[in-house]
Amino acid sequence: MKIAFVSLNTYKPTNAPLGLVYLSTIIKQKYPSEELRIIDANFEDVEEELKNYSPDIIGITAMTTDYGRAIKLAKKIKNIPILIGGVHITTLPNSFKDCFKIGILGEGEYILLDLIKIYKKYNKFPKEELKKITGLLFLENGELINTGRRELIKNLDEIPHPDRSLINKGYFKKEILEDGSVGIRHNMIASRGCPFECVFCSTSKFWAKKIRYHSVDYIVEEVRILHKKYGVNYINVPDDLFLTNNKKARELVGALKKEGLEKIKWGVQLKAELINEDLLSTLKELNVVRIGCGFESGSQKVLNYLKKGTVNLEKSKEAVRLMIKHKFLVGGSFMFAVPGETIEDMYKTLDLIKEFKKIGAKDLSTFVLTPYPGTEIWEIAKQKGKVSDDMDWDFLRQNSEDQALNPILLDDDIDMKEYHKFYKKRGELMKSFKIDIIKRDLKKRPFWVLKRAITKPKTTFNIIFKKILYG
C-alpha cells in the first residue's frame, strides 16, 4: 500500500508540516512495510507528484485558508480515497464535501491507524466499519455521518518522535536568525492545546480546551535528534504556553546541560501575564533568545473583549520592560478591525507599538482580525453575512490586501477614509521594523547576505527586500 500525505500550506514556507510528520511516523512504526511520503506545496508540484507516485490513499491537512485549495485538488483526483483532516474540518464539520472520502476530527494519529487497518483488510473503507471508529466524518446516502470526537491522547510521550527525514531538506537550510547569527532554525512541538478561550482563536476548540505537555526527557531527546542529525542550533516552539512553569523550565535546563545541548538557542511563546523575573532568569539560562507574546491591542477595552478579561494592559507593558531588561528579543502580535473597536482604539495600539519599539522591542507584527470557524467572532461574521459554511475560503487568507483594506469585522459605523488613513500609518510604522532588521543583517552578516544575493537572487529578494515593500 502507498500512502501520500499532502501539505498545501505555503503561507509560512519556513514552517515544516510537522502534523503530517507525526502522522507519517506513527504509521511507519506500526506498518513498516507500507510506502509513505509527504508531498509539500512549498517545494513540489502537488498534482504532478501525486500523479507520479500513484498512491492508494491520499491524506490532506488543511487550515481554513487552505480548505478551498484542498477541495480543488480533491475534485481533480479520481478513484483514490482522499482523507481530509486538520483544524478546519474539525471546527466546521458541516463544510465536508463529497470530493473527500473521510474527514478526521482532532488528533489523527490513532484514528489513521484504525483506518489503515480497515483498508488493509478490505482494500476499501466500508461504511459499516467506519461507523465503529470515533472521530470520523463521511457521507452515507447524501447524509453527513459524524461519529463524534475521540478522547485526546493522555500521554503525549507515547507518540514517537517525528521522523523529519520525511520532509524536504529545504527546511534545514542556514539563515540569518533573529539575533543576527547564522544558523539552522526548526520548529518543535512541546505541548498540545490551550486552556484559554480567546474569541478569535480556534486552537482551544481543536484541542478541546485542554493542554498536555511532553515530558522533559521527551523534549531533550528531540532536541538531541534535531541538533545531531539535522544540525539545528535554533529551536522555535510555537506552542501557546511553552515553559510557563518555572520548575519545568529548570528541569529542562539541567537535562540539556547534562546532554551537552545547552548552547542550543530557543524562541518561545509566552502569555505576558505569566512573565516574571524568576522565569526570565531561567529562560536566559536555557539560552532562549526570543520571546513572543500575543499583545493584540493597546486598548484595555478591546483586550477585555478579545481575551475575556484575562489580560491587563499594564501587565503587558511590565512584561516587555522585563524582557528588555533581561536582553531578550521581544516579539509580539497585534490585531485591528475588532468588533466594537474604534479608530481611537486602533491608534492606542499604534501608540503601544511605538512605546515598545522605543524601549527595544524589535519584532512586532500586525494583522487584520480574521474570523475562523469554531470561534465567537466566526459567529458574529456569520450573522453579518460575511462568512458561511460554504464560501470561497481563499477570501480569508490573512495576506489578502482586499481584506486588509476592507476588514470583515470592522464596525459599520467606522469612517472608511479614517480607517485607510490609519492603515497607511500602520504600514509606515511596521515598515520601520523591517528596515531595522535588514540593517541589522547587513551590518552583522554583510558577506552572507551578499553571497545569498549572488547565488539565489530571487530568494534573497523574497526574504529581504519584500520586508520593506510589504510592512
Q: List Cβ neighbours of 444 (8 Å cut-off, separation of 6 or more).
A: 176, 180, 181
Q: How far apart are CA 145 and CA 189, in angstroms?
A: 32
Would you state the pLDDT for residue 458?
62
Among candidate residues 71, 49, 52, the one with its CA nearest the CA of residue 60: 71
pLDDT of 434 reads 79
Instruction: Provide the residue-wise pLDDT of the chain in tens; the chain has 471 residues.
Output: 999 999 998 876 678 999 999 999 999 999 999 999 999 999 999 999 999 999 999 999 999 999 999 999 999 999 999 999 999 999 999 999 999 999 999 999 999 999 999 999 999 999 999 999 999 999 999 999 999 999 999 999 999 999 999 999 999 999 888 888 889 999 999 999 888 889 999 877 888 778 899 999 999 999 999 999 999 999 999 987 777 778 889 999 999 999 999 999 999 999 998 899 999 999 999 999 999 999 999 999 999 999 988 889 999 999 999 999 999 999 999 999 999 999 999 999 999 999 999 999 988 999 999 999 999 999 999 999 999 999 999 888 755 677 788 899 999 999 999 999 999 999 999 988 877 777 777 777 777 667 666 766 665 555 555 444 444
What sign does the CA torsion over 48, 49, 55, 60 have? negative
Q: What is the per-residue pLDDT for 469? A: 43
Amino acid 211: pLDDT: 86
Checking DSSP bridges between strand 35-40 and strand 2-7, what pairing results, if any? Answer: parallel
pLDDT score, position 10: 84
The pLDDT of residue 464: 53
- For residue 200, the number of C-alpha atoms closer than 13 Å in the C-beta half-sphere is 21
Spell out the domains of the chain, with CATH numbers in brackets: 2-146 (3.40.50.2300), 173-469 (3.80.30.20)
Task: Tell me, yes or no, if the pTM score tops 0.85.
Answer: yes
